[in-house]
């Protein structure tokens, strides 16, 4: 079990970095193509890429330091203490000790839909938010599995990792939008001197390439960003098993939360990816299979079952969870 467990964690981390590397390469290609198309030289690529990364970075810094407070406020989360939620605080403290991280702040969201999320830029500035529905519908072992998962996000610096990938994806979108607007307003027309010089052939090729990348790169980078998020969910699941040494509580929690039909009203597109399971149900208009932020629940459970040597779910049990996130 230990070998399988550590192998799974290593694979999930490796996949995350490979996907992040793809976004970096895509950013570089787009910046070079646009820079050459606009300025006709490689030095133009450096300027365009640098400006996009600068603006994207400034926006990310604001969300990095103030995003957790905003998310908690938008979600209607209220901080709790030992008097108001003693069992919850006890479980979170157990998982924090197991993860070797400081005790995070704990918040409750008054909503009957069971779910939870973690936020914060590092373990010293972390918070976990749990819905009242989660406390009412899960037993202690299941709650431990969920808290182990959320504190694993904190320990694995998933917020920081997601922020870096988000900066790159935002920079790609910024560059693409700039170039397409520049082209629309006639910025791509070359002067007669450029045409007569005969040196604009390569620039014209890069101009076409830049247009194609400007259309496709934002979509591709967004899909990769979602894939990164799904890999971090797999990583947090495996890490939760490491902390609790009880995969069955996490497995039951996944099945119970994903199968619950109640809608989490406070969730939105900006916070969707943060939750333990996808807060958007398949029957909602908010749901989107193409831009899925979470792995399929059945896949998550079967990966957990690999750690125990149990057979993958099939038949009626698998059918019940099929299509759920």
- Residue-wise pLDDT tens digits, 70-86: 889 889 999 999 898 99
Give pLDDT, residue 30. Answer: 87
Backbone angles phi, psi at 4, to 5 degrees: -60, -40
Tokens 């969201």 belong to 109
**Using CA atoms, how far apart are residues 297 and 295, in angstroms rounded to an integer?**
6
Mean pLDDT (10-residue bins), the chain, 325 residues = 66 82 85 80 72 71 74 92 92 96 96 94 91 96 97 89 80 84 66 48 82 90 88 93 93 94 86 89 60 87 88 83 79
pTM passes above 0.75: yes
* Active-site entry in 136, 141, 142, 150: 150
**Using CA atoms, how far apart are residues 312 and 300, in angstroms rounded to an integer?**
11
Tokens 């373990």 belong to 123
CB–CB of 235/164 below 8 Å? no
Give pLDDT, residue 200. Answer: 61
Give pLDDT, residue 189. Answer: 52
If we measure between CA atoms, which residue out of 221, 325, 218 comes closest to residue 273? 325
CB neighbour burial string for 7-32, b if at least 16 within 10 angstroms, e if fewer:
ebbeebbebbeebbebbeebbebbbb
Give pLDDT, residue 273. Answer: 86
Residue 108, strand partner residues: 78, 130
HSE toward the beta carbon, residue 81, CA cutoff 13 A: 1
Tokens 């993958």 belong to 312
Per the rule left: phi > 0, alpha: psi between -120 and 50, beta: everything else, 59 is: alpha
Residue 77, strand partner residues: 109
Taking only the tens place, the pLDDT of each residue in 203-235 is 788 888 889 989 999 999 888 888 888 989 999
Residue 96 has which token pair?
């924090």
Total structural domains in the chain?
A: 1
Assigned domain for 90 exists = yes
Give pLDDT, residue 191. Answer: 42
Note if 233 is an active site residue: no
Give pLDDT, residue 165. Answer: 82
Q: Identify the domain containing residue 52 by its residue range.
A: 2-188+208-321
CB–CB of 30/174 below 8 Å? no
Assigned domain for 116 exists = yes
Give pLDDT, residue 199. Answer: 47
Assigned domain for 198 exists = no
Which element (helix H / strand E) includes 130? Answer: strand 127-131
Backbone angles phi, psi at 131, to 5 degrees: -80, 155
Residue 317 has which token pair?
């049990």
Assigned domain for 201 exists = no
Assigned domain for 193 exists = no
**Using CA atoms, how far apart are residues 142 and 252, in angstroms rounded to an integer?**
6
């Amino acid at each position: 079990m230990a070998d399988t467990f550590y192998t799974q964690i290593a694979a999930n981390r490796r996949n995350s970095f490979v996907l992040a590397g793809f976004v970096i390469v895509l950013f570089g290609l787009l910046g070079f193509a646009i820079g050459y198309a606009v300025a006709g030289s490689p030095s133009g690529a450096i300027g365009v890429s640098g400006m996009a990364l600068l603006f994207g970075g400034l926006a990310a810094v604001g969300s990095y330091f103030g995003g957790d407070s905003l998310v908690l406020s938008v979600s209607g989360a209220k901080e709790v203490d030992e008097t108001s939620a003693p069992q919850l605080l006890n479980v979170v403290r157990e998982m924090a000790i197991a993860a070797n991280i400081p005790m995070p702040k704990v918040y409750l969201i008054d909503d009957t839909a069971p779910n939870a999320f973690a936020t914060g830029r590092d373990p010293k500035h972390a918070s976990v938010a749990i819905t009242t529905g989660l406390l009412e519908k899960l037993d202690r072992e299941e709650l431990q599995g969920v808290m182990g998962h959320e504190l694993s996000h904190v320990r694995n610096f998933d917020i920081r990792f997601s922020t870096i990938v988000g900066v790159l994806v935002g920079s790609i979108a910024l560059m693409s939008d700039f170039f397409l607007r520049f082209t629309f307003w006639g910025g791509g027309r070359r002067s007669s001197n450029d045409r007569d010089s005969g040196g604009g052939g390569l620039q014209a090729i890069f101009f076409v390439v830049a247009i194609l990348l400007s259309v496709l790169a934002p979509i591709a980078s967004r899909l990769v960003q979602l894939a990164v998020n799904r890999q971090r969910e797999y990583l947090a699941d495996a890490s939760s098993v490491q902390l609790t040494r009880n995969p069955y509580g996490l497995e039951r929690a996944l099945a119970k939360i994903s199968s619950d039909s109640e809608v989490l009203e406070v969730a939105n597109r900006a916070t969707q990816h943060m939750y333990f399971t996808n807060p958007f149900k398949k029957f909602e208009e908010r749901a989107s299979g193409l831009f899925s932020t979470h792995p399929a629940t059945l896949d998550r459970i079967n990966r957990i079952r690999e750690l125990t040597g149990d057979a993958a779910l099939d038949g009626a049990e698998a059918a019940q969870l099929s299509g759920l996130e």
